[in-house]
Amino acid sequence: MAQGQSTAPGAVDAGAAGQAFRPFAGLRVIDLTRVLAGPYCSYLLGLLGADVIKVEPPGKGETIRRRTGGDPALAEAGVSVAWSTQSGNKRCITLDLDRPRGQELFRELAAGADVVVQNLRTGSAEKRGIGYAQLSALNPKLVYCAITAYGGNGPRATHPAYDSVIQAVSGLMSLTGQPDGDPLKVGPPVIDYVTGMNAALAVVCALFERTQTGRGRFIDLAMLDSNFALMTSALTLFVNTGKQPSRPGNDAASRAPASTTYRVSDGQFAIAINEEHQYVHLFQSMGLAHLLDDPRFATLADRNRNIPALRVELQRVFETNTAAHWETVLNEAGAPGGRVNSLAEVTAHPQFAARRLFQQVSLQADGSGAQMQLPLAPFSVDGDRGSIRLAPRPVGADTDAVLGELGVGAAELAALRADGTI
């Protein structure tokens, strides 16, 4: 966001999250990824202390740097909100990996690294001499994570994809939407981010094993497989019974008879009532205790036979008051429920601020001093979610420094820049 605008609730300054938790301090990660999934993996490692070196093509870097939709000025400067979201704590260099010297320099970087994360199409790294077998021969301790759309084998191994395509191909869209409507995709790019999380977990597992064996590992991680993990219950049901779950609309996954969304006086309200004692709490707290003796709703079997009638009874009472009222009444009674929030509403809620999920950083790439709120780790350890110690960097800002660490002198740097290698 531009300088002078109010900051998002829940932002914290660097170091304010408590006692420092930096388990990956001293770890070097080479990030040869783009868009969201791979960059989020290395971003998580960087939040927790790793030295992440981001490798991009010379010139404008990866295209997401200039993706509009947030702050146009930041996009024009090459540090768009879409890119910056997972680009803190990364030293940024440029290398043309289609040139022999660029490939050679990448191999030199990998020889001194702990982790390489790449999301090139299957086979592309090997063609450039930077596949796992080629780099592991130089550095047997290397943990190498290859993120692709469909994985390293199978008939779709070389196919490209993005989040929305994976949602379609995986069957996730077939499970989303109203029962009598068309399939729908989930709004945010959830597959990208769960893939990044899975990649970070796999890297951490391989690093832990390395402490015992002294050797690295090759990680084959597919967006499709990560999406299947999100669909575990539905997919396990199908492979064991052949039953395709119907699209539930706003009904809870449990398909419990009361569990859906209702209109309240100022919006929509969701409840999830799965246990018998929760039905008791729900009916009593809503002034509907008499339904406990109603033969239509006395038992779970009765409620399942009379779902429309049950929901009419609940809707009649829900619409008499506000979401805030029902959140207090139901949750204090032990009946789970909550308002269907917009992003403005959820980020303004004290719970968001209490969890300290974002950190404010100053972007100095274009000299504007613009401020941006960036996400921290989705977990805390002794109150610490990691920190952003280095704001998102301009394209190639650290090329000279990083290659200088490899012994590349000023004269060669100038020559490499002149011929487009960096």
Angle (CA) 333 334 339, round 5°: 90
Q: Is the pLDDT of residue 237 over 70?
A: yes
**Mean of pLDDT values over 18-23:** 83
Identify the pLDDT of residue 69. 75
CATH 3.30.1540.10 fits 261-348, yes or no: yes
Identify the pLDDT of residue 363. 85
Confidence band, pLDDT 50/70/90 cuts, at residue 68: confident
Q: Is the pLDDT of residue 12 over 50?
A: no
- Neighbour count for residue 81 (Cβ, 10 Å): 18
Identify the pLDDT of residue 70. 74
Q: For the segment 34-57, what is each residue's pLDDT rounded down to a tens digit?
A: 999 999 999 999 999 999 999 999
Q: How far apart are CA 366 and CA 314, in angstroms?
A: 55
**Mean of pLDDT values over 301-322:** 98
Q: For the segment 359-380, what is each residue's pLDDT rounded down to a tens digit?
A: 999 887 444 568 899 999 999 9
Supply the residues annotated as catalytic: 192
Quote the percentage of the chain above a pLDDT of 90. Answer: 90
Identify the pLDDT of residue 370. 81
Please state the domain extents for the chain: 11-232+366-418, 261-348
Look at 5 and 332; give whichever has higher pLDDT.
Answer: 332
**Mean of pLDDT values over 186-212:** 97
**Mean of pLDDT values over 320-340:** 98
Identify the pLDDT of residue 1. 30
- Class level of CATH domain 11-232+366-418: alpha beta
Identify the pLDDT of residue 366. 47
Range from 158-162, 189-193, 364-368 carrying the lowest mean pLDDT:
364-368
Confidence band, pLDDT 50/70/90 cuts, at residue 311: very high
Q: Are 212 and 137 in contact (CB under 8 A)?
A: no
Sheet holding 267-271, edge to edge: 261-264, 267-271, 337-339
Q: For the segment 248-302, what is each residue's pLDDT rounded down to a tens digit?
A: 999 998 899 999 999 999 999 999 999 999 999 999 999 999 999 999 999 999 9
Q: For the segment 81-93, what is each residue's pLDDT rounded down to a tens digit?
A: 999 999 999 999 9
pTM: 0.92
Range from 39-48, 71-80, 334-343, 362-371 carrying the lowest mean pLDDT:
362-371
Find the largest Cα–Cα distance for the chain: 88
**Mean of pLDDT values over 160-186:** 95
